[in-house]
Amino acid sequence: MILQLNPALPLDTPKGKALCHFMIDYGEEADLLWVCFQDDTGECWTWSNKDIRAQQNVSMGRIKLKTDSQSQTG
């Protein structure tokens, strides 16, 4: 199933900040895939769940996000 996200979601990806416009769901035995357009380059990349994070959003209370290394040590 492909779902168009409206509004698009601002995400942090391995290639920087991006807007996610589509989500692909192949079913319960597969990760969700997030189709994103990178802010800096306009490139379109598809990322799995483990590769993305929600961007900082003061209005939603996401001021500082923990990285994987921070959550394991503290």
- Polymer length of the chain: 74
Q: What is the DSSP letter of 65?
A: P
Q: Domain coordinates of the chain in residue numbers?
A: 1-52
Q: Which among 58, 54, 29 has a CA at the least distance from the CA of 66? A: 54
> Given this model, what pLDDT does residue 36 score?
98
> Given this model, what pLDDT does residue 38 score?
98
> Given this model, what pLDDT does residue 54 score?
87
The ranges of the chain with pLDDT < 70 are: 58-62, 64-74
> Given this model, what pLDDT does residue 63 score?
74
> Given this model, what pLDDT does residue 2 score?
96
